[in-house]
Amino acid sequence: MFRKLFVMVACCSCPMLFALSEYQMQPREYQPPQSVPQTSFMHTVDIPTYQRKFNEPIQDWLKETIDQELSHFKQDKITQRGLNATYNRFLKYPFPVNHYLRRYRIIGERIYACGNIAPRENDLVLRTLARLSDYPGIPNLPNVDFMINHNDGMPMNYDPPDFWIAEDKNDQAPILSGGKVAIAPYIIAVPHYFPLAGWKQRYDEVIRSRCPWREKKKAVCWRGNIMLRVHLNSPEAVIYNQLMSESRSLLCLLSLDNPYLINAGFSHQIEWIPSENAKRVFRPCVKGYLSYREYISHAYLPELDGAMISGMGFEWKLLANSLLFKVESPFVSWIDRGAVPYHNCIPVKQNMENLIEMINWAQTHDKECEIMANNGAIFAEKNASMEGIMFFFNYLFQEYEKCQDFNTKDLLQECERDPKWTRIR
């Protein structure tokens, strides 16, 4: 009886041991040509964690985000004619618009790029995604042809109107961008390329800097640069009025009047601003940097726009186990649908008129706020880690491929023969 039981246990255990063996963790072989770069973010990704994501149901916020972003192109398919027309429209504009885009083609295990700009972190993202797909349990990257905007977002306030929109709507293709104006059509928000190089280190530092909710100061904390959205040569009154209406400025001025509720200030000097009135008003708001540990010792962290979105500010503030105060914005990031008011964040009006009210509410609903802060941290750990970011891209490309009306494999010869295309993987 004992021998029979031993045999049964051994037989049942073998598949499990095999599944966990080093052999199963080995990727399929890939030997790139010596001329092809091999830099990537592989060292920042925990492969077993990434593998497990493909065995879990797609989260509602992620499915809703991608469905919404691709909704137009589920009806009006992405074509080579549309991709070429949209890409060439950018090239017709003078600098800097003609240097915004980098176009990519993923064809089998190869990736090609073209554009007027030098290689960017997105090249590393794509090489990482491709190498991760060589591991068991991770689907191959689909064959896709797409464009990524490498500016701060789309469209910026200084961009020509509708510069990305094709003259014939039937020739329109989508553009991926690290932020977008919410009402701007045909733009798909993705994680911004620029912070990704240091994101793993930043992510880990935020985790190390977290402290228990009961130890946090029940006050708002913020640091950042003053934000001027008009040209430096604008009339002084225009500059002054714009700064006085900016969320960052309003928060810092509120801090001067409510120092026990709000610790907010500008990290850098403001002497470059061509408005004496503005400098006089905002000099007391210059307070210098704070470390993550100092930041996270506060319970309430507002999320404020930068030039467009805040460059992973949303993500690390959710991760901090403090309560995110989500300020209204005309801009959208890739992860915004994950912010659910009174589940993992508190909504604040863009003009800050309800900020003091929200702080007072939070102070009198401390347990509820602790739960919301914890919900935010759990969401960020699952989705804003490098594994979560890579999964977002993988899922986006899988769904993007379904919107294409061409076979990318047919483009392989063009990529190999046309000198404008460079193999990057």
For residue 215, give the CATH number of its domain. 3.40.50
Report how far Cα 353 is from the mean position of its chain's Cα atoms.
28
CA 150 – CA 120 distance, rounded (Å): 8
- For the chain, the domain total comes to 2
Q: What is the CA radius of gyration of the chain?
A: 24
What's the predicted TM-score (pTM) here? Answer: 0.93
Is residue 3 domain-resident? no
User: Would strands 175-177 and 144-149 be described as parallel, antiparallel, or unpaired?
Assistant: parallel
377 in the same domain as 393: no
302 in the same domain as 409: no
215 in the same domain as 348: yes
User: For residue 277, what are its two tokens?
Assistant: 């009135």
Which amino acid would we find at residue 205? Answer: E
285 in the same domain as 220: yes
Please report, in tens digits, the pLDDT of each residue of the chain (425 residues total): 444 444 444 444 444 444 444 445 899 999 889 999 999 999 999 999 999 999 999 999 999 999 999 999 999 999 999 999 999 999 999 999 999 999 999 999 999 999 998 888 999 999 999 999 999 999 999 999 999 999 999 999 999 999 999 999 999 999 999 999 999 999 999 999 989 999 999 999 999 999 999 999 999 999 999 999 999 999 999 999 999 999 999 999 999 999 999 999 999 999 999 999 999 999 999 999 999 999 999 999 999 999 898 889 999 999 999 999 999 999 999 999 999 999 999 999 999 999 999 999 999 999 999 999 999 999 999 999 999 999 999 999 999 999 999 988 889 999 999 999 999 99
Q: Cβ distance 140 to 94 under 8 Å? A: no
Residue 18 phi, psi (nearest 5): -65, -40
390 in the same domain as 343: no
Helix (H, G, I), strand (E, B) or coil at 369: helix
CA angle 109, 113, 118 (to 5 degrees): 135
CA angle 130, 133, 134 (to 5 degrees): 100
Range of the domain at 151: 42-191+385-423
158 in the same domain as 59: yes
User: For residue 339, what are its two tokens?
Assistant: 């912010």
313 in the same domain as 176: no
233 in the same domain as 116: no
Place of tokens 């601003």: 273
